[in-house]
Amino acid sequence: MFNKLTAMPADPILGLLTKYREDNHTQKVDLGVGVYKDESGHTPILTCVKKAEKYRLDTESTKVYIGPTGSADFNRLMSELAFGAENRAILANRVRTVSTPGGTGALRVAADFIKRCNPNSVLWVSDPTWANHTGLFEAAGITVKTYPYYDYDTKSLKFAEMKAALSEIGSDDVVLLHACCHNPSGMDLNQQQWDEVIELTAEQGFTPLIDMAYQGFGEGVDEDAYGVRKMAATVNNMILCSSCSKNFGLYRERIGACSIIGKDAAASDVAFSVLLYVVRCIYSMPPAHGAAIVETILGSNELKQEWLDELTVMRDRINGNRAMLVNKLKEIGVTSNFDFITEQKGMFSFLGITPEQVAQLQSEYSVYMVDSSRISIAGIGTGNVDYLAKSIAKVL
């Protein structure tokens, strides 16, 4: 049976990582993998996470099944973090949340849920979007199409084209928006643009699916949720997929959440029963450990403050790296304008160089990034920025 299979192409980012690891160059730079790294290139466990894990180890009393919703406390605290405790949708008891295996699990649950809402729904994603979005939704049998988003020439948003495309989308379809720190472009909607998109969403009646994988990595926990909160307070139906991988540094624990909002509490109950059925058919129940860590942190004023402080350190480092690279390029006399990098947000930006220049950076200077020239900003540091900027200057 297996001999009928043809091999799938390897994940380009993992392939890049293997090459990077095998490279003996003493000044090699990894700008491929999308995880936070500190100045020494390490992805640390947050101190608040260590404390929450210790508390869990001391107090956990059973490993019995947790049920398809996961932990009720985690779900409530995550909804409040995302939507704001005073959000109209929360106060009207319209939000229903399940814990999921990471943000990817949340998206897969959302995909199967959409398929059950309307098997003919088209999912519209930004051009470009996170590489996994298309495969994930297509795997659930959903047709995926794109709306214009990032302008590679001007390094800015194609906002007029995006709005024009959204105003053609009808109420049967779903539009995926990135809450903040757009992956891969780093180009976010500003508040006025969110207002316009939310107005369009309400007018057109399509369902917004917001993917929030980086809450707190852009401008702040509340600032990054502006669009999510206003959308939830405005429209009848909405889906939110969140991840705790980056902002809690819980990557391998696989914890995230999927929330749905119906037009009233009764409609939300019906939709939730379908969501739970979807969960049971995929993985039955989510893992508990990551959720327990997050709920311990968010449920304690002291640990929550510690988390917010540690998150600020990560965010400031990323924003600082953006400025550091741009300033260094200027300092060594690069005349091309890279200021857009400081205006973008989150883990990624496109450097805006050709695939040939990307290949040259790799083969001649051991600087690793994906072909699209998307760079993972956390891979920059005071120890490599000089070498990195000079290498970029040489291939320009």
Ligand X SMILES: Cc1ncc(COP(=O)(O)O)c(C=O)c1O
User: Is residue 309 annotated as a catalytic residue, yes or no?
Assistant: no
**Most distant pair of Cα atoms in the chain: their distance:** 63
Shortest distance in whole angstroms from residue 256 CB to ligand X: 5
Q: Which is nearer to ligand X, 34 or 286 (CB)?
A: 34
Exactly one of 158, 211, 307, 345 is catalytic; name it: 211
Kindly state whether residue 256 participates in binding ligand X, applying the rule CB under 6 A.
yes
* Catalytic status, residue 211: yes
Q: What track of x and - describes contact with ligand X for positions 322 through 361 (by CB under 6 A)?
A: ----------------------------------------
* Shortest Å, Cβ 213 to ligand X: 4
Task: Draw the binding track, 62-101, toward ligand X (x: CB under 6 A; -: no contact).
Answer: ----------------------------------------
CA proximity to 243, closest of 337, 377, 77, 105: 105
Contact with ligand X (CB under 6 A) among 33, 98, 213, 358:
213
- How far apart, in whole angstroms, are the C-alpha atoms of residue 243 and residue 240? 10
Q: Which is nearer to ligand X, 258 or 380 (CB)?
A: 258
Least Å distance, CB 346 to ligand X, is 9
Which listed residue (130, 173, 188, 328) is catalytic? 130
Q: Active site includes 246?
A: yes
Interface positions, 114-173, toward ligand X (CB under 6 A): 130
Minimum CB separation of residue 193 from ligand X in Å reads 18
When asked if residue 243 is in the footprint of ligand X (CB under 6 A), the reply is yes
Instruction: By CB under 6 A, tell whether 201 contacts ligand X.
Output: no
Q: Is 188 in the site for ligand X (CB under 6 A)?
A: no
Q: Is there binding between residue 253 and ligand X (CB under 6 A)? A: no
> Which is nearer to ligand X, 278 or 389 (by Cβ)?
278
State the binding string over 98-117 for ligand X (x if CB under 6 A, else -).
Answer: ----xxx-------------
Q: How far is the CB of 365 from ligand X (least distance, A)?
A: 26
Binding mask 6-45 for ligand X (x = CB under 6 A): ----------------------------x-----------
In this structure, are residues 170 and 138 in contact, taking their beta carbons and an 8 Å threshold? no
HEC per residue, the chain? CHHHCCCCCCCHHHHHHHHHHHCCCCCCEECCCCCCCCCCCCCCCCHHHHHHHHHHHHHCCCCCCCCCCCCHHHHHHHHHHHHCCCCHHHHCCCEEEEEECHHHHHHHHHHHHHHHHCCCCEEEEEECCCHHHHHHHHHCCCEEEEEECEECCCCEECHHHHHHHHCCCCCCCEEEEECCCCCCCCCCCCHHHHHHHHHHHHHHCCEEEEEECCCCCCCCCCHHHHHHHHHHHHCCCEEEEEECCCCCCCHHHCCEEEEEECCCHHHHHHHHHHHHHHHHHHCCCCCCHHHHHHHHHHCCHHHHHHHHHHHHHHHHHHHHHHHHHHHHHHHCCCCCCCCHHHHCCCCEEECCCCHHHHHHHHHHHCEECCCCCEEEHHHCCCCCHHHHHHHHHHHC
Q: What minimum distance in Å lies between the beta carbon of 243 and ligand X?
A: 3
In whole angstroms, the minimum distance from the beta carbon of 34 to ligand X comes to 5
Q: Summarize as ranges the residues that interact with ligand X (CB under 6 A).
A: 34, 102-104, 130, 178, 183, 211, 213, 243, 245, 256
Catalytic positions: 130, 211, 246
